[in-house]
Amino acid sequence: MKFTPVLAATILAGAAVAAPSRGLEARVKARASNKGSRPLQSVDKPTTVKNQTNVEYSSNWSGAVLVNPPSAEATYTAVTGTFTVPEPTGSSGSSQAASAWVGIDGDTYGNAILQTGVDFTVEGGEASFDAWYEWYPDYAYDFSDIDISAGDEIVAIVESYSSTSGIAIIENKSTGQKVSKEISSSSALGGINAEWIVEDFEEDGELVNLVDFGTVVFSGAVAEAAGGESVGLDGATIIEIEDDSGEVVTDVTINSNSEVTIQYV
């Protein structure tokens, strides 16, 4: 599979660009004041580790990361992935959440991240879902005009036009809805990481209680480097979430050059 900016242009042709109503704008602004991703937060290796190479441990990320572009002259300019929204399960007494997203930077380059994906939250025993975009260090913002449910097939794409501008696209293939947001930032991307992640994100400056998200499989996982070269998951680093007690709570498997499975354990 070859991912090029033409794909982004094709999706945009049928996309409903996010245009919040006045009431929704207020809600989005309030959400942006307290919720967002962080760069990968590394932790020490647990006592028991996987018997494989290219595995690292984090308090907040789990998934696959391409750490370096295919050549010294290139930078990652686009990342795409398709996943099915999971059915999260959590306790009825507390809010628990996680987020699945694709992005550029945030592992070995932490000054900026361009990313988009879907949050899944269980509160009071009920699950809810939000599609969002973010250019870290700004907070995350919800897309409007798109409905997300468990079982929906989602295509997530980010593309940088330059180090300080780009676009985030979410397509719900199950409903036919598509949204996008062109973004600019004074925090420049480095273009040296591409990733497919399930994250224990932050709210009010603290990690949320990680929900049991079951399994998230990113298929069609492709990054594009400047000059149009497409890159799959060969050589990608596996990231596992290790909790405060030192327990590894995710299991990541790279199934092929374009598919990675992230499972809550």
- The β-bridge relationship of strands 35-36 and 113-123 is unpaired
Location of structure tokens 């006045």: 22
Instruction: Say whether 29 sits in a helix, a strand or coil.
Output: helix
Contact between 27 and 97 (Cβ < 8 Å): no
Question: Rounded to an integer, what distance in angstroms lies between the CA atom of residue 213 and that of residue 226?
Answer: 34
Q: What does the buried/exposed string (b/e) look like for 87-107 if buried means 16 or more CB atoms within 10 Å of the residue's CB?
A: ebebeeeeebbbbbbbbbbbb
Catalytic residue flag (residue 199)? yes
Q: What does the buried/exposed string (b/e) look like for 115-141 if buried means 16 or more CB atoms within 10 Å of the residue's CB?
A: bbbbbbbbeeeebebbbbbbbbbbbbb
Question: Rounded to an integer, what distance in angstroms lies between the CA atom of residue 236 and that of residue 199?
Answer: 17
For residue 236, which of 206, 202, 207, 262 has the smallest C-alpha distance?
262
Token digits of residue 94: 């507390």
For residue 52, which of 261, 251, 214 has the smallest C-alpha distance?
251
Strand (E) or helix (H) holding 170 = strand 165-172
Active-site annotation holder among 171, 195, 199, 242:
199
Q: Catalytic residue numbers?
A: 199
